[in-house]
Amino acid sequence: MNPVQQFRLEEKGVRFRNPYFFLRILLLAFFVFTPFMFRSFEVLDVVLKIIIFSALVASYDVILGYTGIVSLGHVLYFGIGCYSVGIFMGNLGWISYGHLALAFLIAIAVSGILSVLIGLFSLRIRAIFFAMVTLAFMEFAFILSSQLRSITGGDDGISFKLPGILAVDYSIGHFLGIELTGRILSYFLILLICMILFLFMLRFVHSPVGRVLQSIRDNEPRSIALGYRTYLFQVIASSFASCVAAVAGACFAIWVRYVSPDSSLSVSIMLDVLLMVIVGGMGTLYGGIFGAAFLMVTRAFLPKLQVLVGSILPGVPMAARLSERWLFYFGLLFIIIVYFFPKGIVGTVQEFFSKRRTS
């Protein structure tokens, strides 16, 4: 047996004993028990959005962090997922499990085909071209969704109901002290779907194709010289990521039961995704979770700082005035993270531990 085989065997042996494995279990446990630990809908809402955005950001990381191509329109596929569910449930009013599943499938198919076409047409040319074309398509979709009133509900969007156990007024009864409503069941359905998406993405980046993608990110001309038609691999990566984003979007629609151009297709969501991937760390997948958590949590709770400070230090106007500027603190936090975690939270921590192990 050669040292490589030896090493791989040892690696396998400690698969369920290494700290990363425990961290994963811990994270999953946290998400599973959130509905039981926190009774407030507000917290549940933030945690669920973290789950969905983790999947969306990780899918973006497959393109940006693993393949090294910049897309500025990734949220387009998220929007396709949202609208697919919205149109089936709301506009067409086909409220059944079958149609919900069909909405998912159509979202995946449309995203897959569209991203292959965009990729084939624009990845061959320079990288910046892909960034511009994807952005243009997203803008175009945004305009379409706000103009095609009869289908998309225009700027007002579509509100809709969900079938059976996912309906808001559904309830199976009590369990561990909470009422298992349609909301809670939706939460668990979405958690399950996003977990499956994560497993798919992990498998994808650790597949032979995933390794070629990393070689492209490192040194594309060399990858070509090895005989890889890199542009086909880039198309595969971008369409895989797009399908994942579409499913994440469909999940988002299930949660909020409402779609509109601003909530599902806007440039500001794209910016959020970019911030999340930078904060979490590129090329790590798990970075998505931390990036999403950072943004969602600060966004949700920094504005409350004012209330908090007001209750702790009543009658100190200086403190009240300072706590008003939550967006400023958000920016400051962001800069601090980027400064101290240049490879993102997960990337920098991983680097720290792998350095400690080798030294």
Partner 1 sequence: MNMPHPPIIETKDLTIRFGGHLAVDHVSLQIPPFTFKSIIGPNGAGKTTFFNMISGQYRPTEGKVFLKGKDVTSLSPAIRTQLGIGRSFQLTNVFLSLTVLENVRLAIQSQKDIGFNFWKNYLSFSELENQAYEILKMVLLDTKWNVPASGLTHGEQRKLEIAILLALETEVLLLDEPTAGMALEEVPSILELLKQIKNRRDKTILLVEHKMDVLMALSDSIAVLHEGRLIADDTPEAVSKNREVQEAYFGGGRARG
Both structure tokens of 199: 């497993």
62 within 8 A of 236, measured Cβ to Cβ: no
208 within 8 A of 193, measured Cβ to Cβ: no
Report how many residues bind partner 1 under the rule CB under 8 A. 32
Neighbours of 212 (CB within 10 A): 21
Binding string, residues 233-272; x marks residues near partner 1 by CB under 8 A: ---x---x--------------------------------
State the Cα–Cα distance between residues 139 and 51, nearest whole angstrom.
26
Measured from the CB of residue 355, what is the shortest distance to partner 1 in angstroms? 11
Stretch that binds partner 1, among 89-97, 199-207, 305-313, 327-335 (CB under 8 A): 199-207
State the Cα–Cα distance between residues 276 and 56, nearest whole angstrom.
10
What is 233-296 written as a DSSP string?
A: HHHHHHHHHHHHHHHHHHHHHHHHSEE-HHHHS-HHHHHHHHHHHHHH-TT-STHHHHHHHHHH
Stretch that binds partner 1, among 125-133, 203-211, 248-256, 345-353 (CB under 8 A): 203-211
For partner 1, the binding residue among 15, 24, 126, 211 (CB under 8 A) is 211
Residue 15 binds to partner 1 (criterion: CB under 8 A): no
Looking only at residues 303 through 322 of this chain, which bind partner 1 when binding is defined by CB under 8 A?
A: none
Stretch that binds partner 1, among 5-13, 38-46, 258-266, 343-351 (CB under 8 A): 5-13
Rank residues 189 and 195 by Cβ distance to partner 1 and give the closer one. 195
Rank residues 116 and 189 by Cβ distance to partner 1 and give the closer one. 116
For partner 1, the binding residue among 125, 226, 271, 313 (CB under 8 A) is 226
Longest dimension (CA), the chain: 74
For partner 1, the binding residue among 214, 263, 306, 348 (CB under 8 A) is 214
Residue 8 binds to partner 1 (criterion: CB under 8 A): yes
For partner 1, the binding residue among 32, 209, 309, 319 (CB under 8 A) is 209
Q: What angle do CA 54, 58, 62 make, to 5 degrees?
A: 175
State the Cα–Cα distance between residues 144 and 150, nearest whole angstrom.
11
Q: What angle do CA 311, 315, 320 make, to 5 degrees?
A: 65
Question: 171 has which bridge partners?
Answer: 181
State the Cα–Cα distance between residues 342 and 348, nearest whole angstrom.
7
Rank residues 35 and 210 by Cβ distance to partner 1 and give the closer one. 210
Amino acid at 152: T
Residue 5 binds to partner 1 (criterion: CB under 8 A): yes
Rank residues 224 and 309 by Cβ distance to partner 1 and give the closer one. 224
Rank residues 7 and 22 by Cβ distance to partner 1 and give the closer one. 7
Residues that bind partner 1 (CB under 8 A): 2-5, 7-8, 203-204, 206-212, 214-215, 218-219, 221-230, 232, 236, 240
